[in-house]
Amino acid sequence: MTRDWHQKQADAPRSDESLILAVQEGDKRAYDELVRRYKVRLYNFLLRMVANPELAEELTQDALVRAYLNADKYRTIARFSTWLYTIAINLVRNHARRRRRSPVFRMPLVGRDDGDRREMEAPDTSRMPDSDLESKEEREHIQQIVMLIPSHYREPFVLREFHDLSYEEIAAATGLKLGTVRSRINRARSHFREHWVARFRSDDAALEGGPLR
């Protein structure tokens, strides 16, 4: 009975937190396991934040390198995933700051029919899985709509909608107050709904109930 229990314990997947504590002790296999668990999740988060696969991949690698180098700074008061997202968010913010100082080519996109023009980077969806052309187009449109949400609203929105983080975890990862997280998610959803309706709802009547500012 006891032997079975020990066997079960040995077979049970280790928690992220126990793995990062093992990394602090110099366990490189534990780090490899964390990379295996988080690389796709982190990559998708960053892809939705920057809409550029090469850049998203680079930032994902940078976040994982930072997590390794600063593993000793991790404290068990936070979940490992929250801590990792905090690192990734800081990298995105630093990148946005650098880009503001040295702007890159930007492609203007028509946001709505009323002449509202917004700017965003052309999303490169070449690496996205494409089952057929229609679904690929839909994915591109969704990605474009997400990118039309202002970045300070987009951060908590993506963490909530794609990564299922709780409001408290988002507050911890972004450094925002809980009330700010709540209102930013609400505003981001309002933006998302506005652009989603404009793109996917042929029924113009749906536009009448536009979001409140």
Partner 1 sequence: MNCKRARAAISLFLDERLDPTRQARLNRHLERCPDCAAYLRDLRDGLAMLHEQPEAEPSPNFDWNLRRKLQRAALEREIMLQRPARVSFWPRFAVGAAAALAVCVVGVWLLYDEGGTVRAPLVRPGIPAVTVTPGDSAADGAGFASTPGRMPDQYRSHGTRVQAVDGRTGGLISDGGARGAVQADDPYNAVPLQGARADSAAADSVTPPGPTP
Q: How far is the CB of 43 from partner 1 (least distance, A)?
A: 5
Q: Does 138 bind partner 1 (CB under 8 A)?
A: yes
Work out whether 122 is an interface residue with partner 1 (CB under 8 A). no
How many other C-beta atoms lie within 10 A of the C-beta of residue 200? 13
Q: Which window, 6-14, 64-72, 81-89, 148-156, contacts partner 1 (CB under 8 A)? A: 64-72
Member of 61, 86, 90, 180 binding partner 1 (CB under 8 A):
61
Which residues are 118's β-sheet partners?
Answer: 109
The residue (of 44 and 90) whose beta carbon lies closer to partner 1 is 44
Residue 25 CB, nearest approach to partner 1 (Å): 17
CA 19 to chain centre: 22
* Pure H helices in the chain: 2-11, 16-24, 28-50, 53-69, 80-101, 133-148, 151-161, 167-174, 178-200
**Does residue 29 interact with partner 1 by CB under 8 A?**
no
What residue type is assigned to position 23 of the chain? V
Contact between 163 and partner 1 per CB under 8 A = no
